[in-house]
Structure 1
């Protein structure tokens, strides 16, 4: 369908801004051409049509602001109160609110109406970015690469800087925990975890990082590998010995073998000790992370045993 055109009578529009400008701002009918149409020739602009009496607007607005801030200026947000700016709302056929328009290169290119979940808002914004990475996302990739290269201290510094910019960033918080743990500073990790709000602790990446920390504490106290192997060889039917051996293996970095030992317990007696082996295995998967090859392979093995 043809896109609505923006025509504002009166004074000629102001020239587009050439500086950084405000990432989030209020606008009105008189300034709409400058704030939205012309500004969108420099960077995509979201226009949030709202009103003080609108309940869903109060849900949508803060989420939009958060996601726009995360783009670091690659996308901007302009808020328009429809009660005070009925002319522009009519021109853009705003019939119900909240309604959001996306402007790019001087034209409206996308729109949606009603409150949306954060995941859908992110997808909406990602479409506008055309593959450009927001600064925080690029910084996260740099921190992860630094971590994988073995420089945990430098990675921790980047993760901390990201959290300064975005205090509830799940990946950054998880990265701080993992990098600090990699430096061997378990005291600081414990302090970080204890200070986290409950809702942050429950988030996927953070929960996985905490599992890695808890597992490290568990393996730190595990018995000598050789001693446990001898005990297991002498009594292979003792599941507790095999579980202790698996934990010690994981602590020693023998992750694949550790997973194999737990799978063996589940194969022999999946219900043993209130499914202790399966629960321990899931902790290891969390510690390794969902994208790790051993996690994927281990989950396939687990499914094969459980559903055979």
Structure 2
């Protein structure tokens, strides 16, 4: 029985888009020299027969991918393209050479561990920029806790790095909603490209704006409370009360009024109470405690 044919080792191509490429002799000037004018470029000299290359290349790819576009990794098979390695004095592999501003600036040989590779890159890369996703999580938490001014400052920091960050734009819109500046909030949301419509923060901001606009038409909160107390079967008054309570930040009360309607008359007004409750969920977000609690109660009512 013949042993299974072994496919030659080849590092993965395009694991992080244009950040990780296979480079040829013909593409070396554009993909390495010219690209190094914009960012640090590492050249990974390897060959299919090189055992240590199989250890080093995946680590290089992991590190470069984690840097989110700040570094390019250009992999060159020296069996196919020996000219560049010879010109740079590469005598054994694996070998990694760093290019910056069109020139070779540093290099190392052998399969280094991840920590040493990161330290090598850091010498030339300089300090990392802000962690946008961590900032976004911080801003969202501030917004949820009612600290709108602090949240806006963090959203502004994000937009300084990524001016088209859909979540941050939606976050500023939420701040404007909290301030009562509904027209400004709508302008911000309308400026977000359509392809980002399903980003959770954008959908939540749109739902919050629609609810706040609706709240302006339902009347005084005290008046609605009195109507519901005097006529418990007045579903429209209870529906309007839920809208007003939500606008006042009283989420639990708003959810309970709608659940009351569903319990009394599930299909009232073409299922309006359930539809509004789902709109509340979109606005509050899936991890909000009121969303979780009300969703469980809704399921219990619908499937009992």
What band does the TM-score fall into relative to the shorter chain? 0.5 to 0.7
> 1:23–1:77: 8 Å Cα contact kept in structure 2?
yes
Which residue of the partner structure matches residue 265 of structure 2?
A: 269
Which residue of the partner structure matches residue 144 of structure 1?
A: 140
Q: Distance in 2 between matches of 1:281 and 1:45?
A: 45
Decide whether aligned partners of structure 1 residues 146 and 232 sit closer, same or farther in structure 2, where only a CA change above 3 A counts: closer
What is the number of equivalent residue pairs in this alignment? 227
Which residue of the partner structure matches residue 298 of structure 1?
A: 294
Q: Distance in 2 between matches of 1:162 and 1:235?
A: 49
Which residue of the partner structure matches residue 73 of structure 2?
A: 78
Which residue of the partner structure matches residue 234 of structure 2?
A: 238
Q: 2:277 matched to 1:281?
A: yes
Shift in Å, 1:196: 1.8
Helix, strand or coil for the counterpart of 1:44?
helix
Decide whether aligned partners of structure 1 residues 150 and 259 sit closer, same or farther in structure 2, where only a CA change above 3 A counts: closer
Q: RMSD of the alignment, in Å?
A: 4.2
Q: Distance in 2 between matches of 1:81 and 1:207?
A: 45
- Look at both structures and tell me which one has the larger radius of gyration over its CA atoms: 2
Q: Distance in 1 between matches of 2:39 and 2:188?
A: 31
Which residue of the partner structure matches residue 45 of structure 1?
A: 64
- Listed as ranges, the matches of 1:1-308 within 5 Å are 25=41, 27=43, 29=45, 44-46=63-65, 68-69=68-69, 76-80=71-75, 104-105=114-115, 135-148=131-144, 150-308=146-304
Unaligned runs of 5+ in 2: 1-8, 12-35, 47-51, 86-92, 95-112, 118-127
> 2:189–2:202: 8 Å Cα contact kept in structure 1?
no
| TM-score, reference length from structure 2 | 0.61
Decide whether aligned partners of structure 1 residues 133 and 144 sit closer, same or farther in structure 2, where only a CA change above 3 A counts: farther
| TM-score, reference length from structure 1 | 0.60
CA deviation profile, 1:229-287 (whole Å, cap 9, x unmatched): 33223432232221111111222222211101101111122222221111111111122
Q: Distance in 1 between matches of 2:258 and 2:161?
A: 41
> 1:45–1:104: 8 Å Cα contact kept in structure 2?
no
Shift in Å, 1:148: 4.9
Q: Distance in 1 between matches of 2:166 and 2:204?
A: 11
Shift in Å, 1:215: 1.0
